[in-house]
Amino acid sequence: HLFANAHNNNSMPNPTFTCKTSEGDFVLELFVDQMPYTASNWIGLAKDGFYNGIQFHRVIPGFMLQFGCPNTKTGAGRPGTGGPPGGSSFTNLADGKVYKRASDGCVQDELTAKISNKPMTLSMANTGRPNSGGSQFFINTAHNNFLDFFDHSSPSAHPVFGKVVKGMDVIKNIEACGSRGGALSKTITMISITQN
């Protein structure tokens, strides 16, 4: 089954990654134990260098920081509309199987673990349509429970698949560069993402 529970035993810690940005570094833990498919999609992109050189394109103070659109690096399209290469693949770290992204680069929604969109959690961005996420994600800076797939107060369904474990001050600094409309007061770029 696509979203079978991870086969990791409890002694296997979740992987962490250092995100080096033009505003400083922060560290993410990816929930391979609870959200193996979504976390593995992100890890595959990070290890391939996909995120290197991409800019935060939408930051709303008191809400979230959105990132992961390749158009911010290439200029090929409107920021917020890009994703991974269509038909590309990644390895699910829980079951070892290789999964292929759709022709538009999208992945399946992994709506399994009920982890709330609390401050400093990492959540999958999408267009609002099912299975429309790809490479874009956001870091919550407030408890945005209305974005939880299991909270029926809104139709939004954004699964949480990681959290910030170090560098919260950097997240706050990036957040301070945002605006109510999401535009940033300066360019903030992801320089590199490396596994710890």
Catalytic residues: 58, 63, 66, 126, 138, 147, 158
- Give start and end residues of each alpha helix (H) in 48-189: 71-74, 168-175
Cα–Cα distance, 196 to 188 (Å, whole number)? 22
Q: Are 26 and 166 within 8 A, CB to CB?
A: yes
- Tell me the C-alpha distance between 19 and 83, whole Å: 19
Of residues 193, 191, 171, 161, the one with CA closest to residue 29: 161
